[in-house]
Amino acid sequence: MPDANTELLDELIMHQVYVERFKKRQLTDLQAFLQKLMDDVSAQLGQRGADLEGTARSARLDQLLRDLGRISDQASDQMTGMVRDQLRDLAAYEGGFMYTAVRALLPVTVSLTTVAPVQLWSAVTTRPFDGRVLEQWFTDYSANQKNRINEAVRMSVVEGETVDQTIRRIRGTKALGFKDGVVQGITRRGAEALARTAVNHVVTTARSATIQENQDVVKGEAWRSTLDGKTSEICIARDGKVYKVGVGPRPPAHPNCRSTIVPVLKSWKELGINLKEAPEGTRASLNGQVPASETYQTWLKRQPRSFQDDVLGPTKAELFRTGGLSVDKFVDEQAGRGYTIDQLRAKHPEAFNRAGL
């Protein structure tokens, strides 16, 4: 029978599949808002084509840009309002899920504390991620969207483009799936990054808040990263590490981060229960050990040389293979970023010698 921490890890990994599905549904909703924005901006340009004539500093153009700015602001308000509501519901759900998942692995004699949805949402909105709180992310996105539309229109005027060419600059071309346009290209990527990063922040914050309220049964937080070629250096380095509750770093480590945290349950002895085996009726034993599942480093070692080169870069991959450096040596844990090759050479000259670099 697997131990409780292994079962909990498996449960949360499976749950992550549903979190990813939530992200995809949210991105579908965002696409509808961006499509309407693109249509509204195009319609405004079509009606006000004469205002594009002349210099980039004309009064008529300034008024057109203000009108386009209002359209962009309205779209941003509607979009961020929808995202905010979805994230608030997600926070409440994730807090409940975390409580239920842990509770199912503990005997009835061990009590757990739930976290009220209002407390979870407060934590979500006040705890910064990647240097900004949630509302600042929304504000920055809205400002960037409006600025990009205005800059595209001004550039069209400077280059003497027609109305159709200006609209094409905003919308993009059908041949490229409109990905080369301001709205569908740059703005959509920004919206998707915001949504994905915010969902990760909400899930992590809800889990963390539940963990902190139940430190009598949880002794640590394990960082878990996705095992594929898209994982960042910092997430590769942190995968499998266990931090003290409320002390270590938390995802998202960067925009579009897919890492998560998993609570590490205490053993029966640490809980003050003098038992070698789990009581009858519980699903798994509590030994307090970190689940011996595969980390990114052990997984990466088994991958082809070409994949290792692609993920780490040729030089770091060789240091990993033959220089004796583990993946956590490639990053500055405190700064949350990777070391340059020159910095690594200064820190680990012996590894470069072993790798023949």
Q: What pLDDT does 282 receive?
A: 45
| pLDDT range class, residue 288, cuts 50, 70, 90 | low
Q: Residue 155: what are its φ and ψ, rounded to 5°? A: -65, -35
* CB-facing half-sphere around the CA of 49: CA atoms within 13 A: 11
Residues whose CB falls within 8 Å of the CB of residue 48, separated by 6 or more in sequence, listed in order: 64, 67
What is the average per-residue pLDDT within 183-192?
A: 78
Strands 331-332 and 337-338: antiparallel
Q: Residue 220: what are its φ and ψ, rounded to 5°? A: -170, 170
Of 95-109, 278-292, 324-338, the least confident: 278-292
| pLDDT range class, residue 84, cuts 50, 70, 90 | very high
pLDDT of 276 higher than 60: no
Whether the model clears a pTM of 0.85, i.e. scores above it, the answer is no
Tokens representing 25 are 């549904």
Among residues 128, 165, 121, 138, the alpha carbon closest in space to that of 249 is found at 128
What is the average per-residue pLDDT within 63-76?
A: 90
pLDDT of 203 higher than 60: yes
pLDDT of 61 higher than 80: yes
Between vectors from CA 321 to CA 320 and to CA 322, what angle results, nearest 5°?
A: 105
| pLDDT range class, residue 108, cuts 50, 70, 90 | low
What is the average per-residue pLDDT within 291-299?
A: 69
What is the average per-residue pLDDT within 84-113?
A: 85
What is the average per-residue pLDDT within 101-119?
A: 81
| pLDDT range class, residue 285, cuts 50, 70, 90 | low
Segment 132-156, tens digit of pLDDT: 999 999 999 899 889 988 888 888 8
> What is d(CA 201, CA 333) in angstroms, rounded to the nearest whole number?
19
Q: What pLDDT does 230 receive?
A: 82
- Spacing of C-alpha 280 from chain mean position: 40
Q: What pLDDT does 124 receive?
A: 95
What is the average per-residue pLDDT within 225-244?
A: 87
What is the average pLDDT score of the chain?
84
Q: What pLDDT does 3 receive?
A: 73
| pLDDT range class, residue 281, cuts 50, 70, 90 | very low
Among residues 94, 99, 91, 90, the alpha carbon closest in space to that of 218 is found at 99
According to the per-residue pLDDT averaged within each range, which of 21-35, 159-173, 196-210 is highest? 196-210
> What is d(CA 9, CA 42) in angstroms, rounded to the nearest whole number?
49
Give the C-alpha distances (Å, rounded to integers) separating 107 from 114, 262, 271. 16, 20, 11
The domain segmentation of the chain, as residue ranges, is 4-217, 303-354
Q: What pLDDT does 54 receive?
A: 65
> What is d(CA 220, CA 237) in angstroms, rounded to the nearest whole number?
18
Q: Which residue has the tokens 């069209």?
A: 156
What is the average per-residue pLDDT within 69-86?
A: 92
CB burial class (10 A; 0-12, 13-18, 19+) of residue 16? middle
Residues whose CB falls within 8 Å of the CB of residue 210, separated by 6 or more in sequence, listed in order: 95, 98, 99, 102, 114, 115
Percentage of residues in the chain having pLDDT higher than 70? 90
> Does residue 223 sit in helix, strand or coil?
strand
> What is d(CA 141, CA 198) in angstroms, rounded to the nearest whole number?
12
DSSP notation for 71-110: HHHHHHHHHHHHHHHHHHHHHHHHHHHHHHHHHTTS-TTS
pLDDT of 286 higher than 70: no
